[in-house]
Amino acid sequence: MAKQTVEDIKQLSDQRVLVRVDFNVPLDEKQNITDDTRIRAALPTIKYLCGKGAKVILVSHLGRPKAGPDDKLRLAPVAAKLSQLLGKPVAYAKDCIGPEVAGAAAKLRAGDILLLENVRFYKEEEKNDPAFAEKLAALADLYVNDAFGTAHRAHASTEGVTKYLKGYAGFLMEKEIKFLGQLLENPARPFVAILGGAKISGKIDVIENLLAKVNTLIIGGGMAYTFFKARGVEVGKSLVEEDKIGLAREILKKAIDRGIPLMLPIDHVVADKFDANADSRIVTRAGIPADWQGMDIGPETITKFGHAIKKAKTIFWNGPMGVFEFAKFSKGTTAIAEMVAEATGKGASSVIGGGDSVAAVEQAGLAGKMTHISTGGGASLEFVEGKTLPGIACLRDK
């Protein structure tokens, strides 16, 4: 799936380059950016293009505007933050198409940067409207996609513009394709996948695809309780997707048929209610009281999962082991993060697959000790499912 990147573009000097970035950053009530990780992730591509004399036009979405422009979702704070991070001015357009934007793009000089307004202020963006995509494309000579987090969406700014401009991958996109691609195509073995989170419904295809790839599959978090119900084990008031019990049973059978160890918790931290300060206790797998619910994996499970993680040469992790937002029930998730970091330090390749697992790794202060942290939750899952991501498929092949 190798794609041509910005380094494959022979002529960048004085070329206007439309760059799709993912600046969907969290803002507080005063429009201050509370986490600039996504902006920093785009810096290598932006700096490279500017350094080659390109005229850089950045396009992004922010949040989910419901009906046109929303002052709370404007990209002005992002322009200010980007300017600060780059140490140079970043021009900001108050629209993303139209005569004024075209004029601003035309005035750019080599190395200049222009950030367009939130592209989702137009409903045509998510509809991948050809006329809207053509208007965006008309601003530039070339197109670069560095927004992996939106690559699973066929929108005007992620897929539609490549009908009018040659499309290349940015450095962040290239990195995502490389590390996630290795998981599916040529992982060092043993390959251990760790899946957690609340539900299996969003991860069925991931489990199905990984069962054909991994040496061991570890399942924790709320989704484990649906598997316990499939085995006839009572789980009290723990989260269970009743309509997925049959599917969980099929997955368990497939793992047995393929000889793949599917590891579930052997003990749990349970609580009398879903609350940060609930009464809690540690129980065995079959010992969850009727009025209690599972909130985290227990110490014996941490040890058991740890044995598999320590032997791994490739690790993919998506989803926490418990309600890690509550400090009292975060020990399991933190322990897994520490063990994955330790295995990475001893030569294993670790890929953290977006979403809450990234938040957990960052909360534990271990992000820098992982091989790769994916910037796309839904996109990384769909990639690992083996699906074609439209925002990648439309880029030029090597």
Catalogue the active-site residues. Answer: 38, 199, 355, 378
Residue ranges of alpha helices (H) inside 56-98 are 76-86
* Cβ-based neighbour number of residue 341 at 10 Å: 19
Helix (H, G, I), strand (E, B) or coil at 167: strand
Instruction: List, in sequence order, every beta strand (DSSP E) within 185-302.
Output: 191-195, 216-219, 262-263, 267-271, 280-284, 293-297
Q: Are 239 and 259 in contact (CB under 8 A)?
A: no
Angle, in degrees to the nearest 10, between helices 245-258 and 204-211? 10
> Within its chain, how far is the Cα of 244 from the centroid?
24
Which of 218, 208, 244 lies closest to 229 in space, CA to CA?
Answer: 244
* 267 HSE (CA, 13 A, CB side): 13
Lateral strand order in the sheet of 91-92: 91-92, 113-115, 55-59, 16-20, 142-145, 167-169
Cα separations in angstroms, 19 against 99, 120, 361 = 19, 16, 29
Cis peptide before 130 (omega within 30 of 0): no
What is the DSSP code (8-state) at residue 66? S
Cα separations in angstroms, 4 against 168, 172, 184, 217 = 5, 13, 20, 33
* Cβ-based neighbour number of residue 165 at 10 Å: 21
Which of 96, 99, 141, 90 lies closest to 122 in space, CA to CA?
Answer: 96
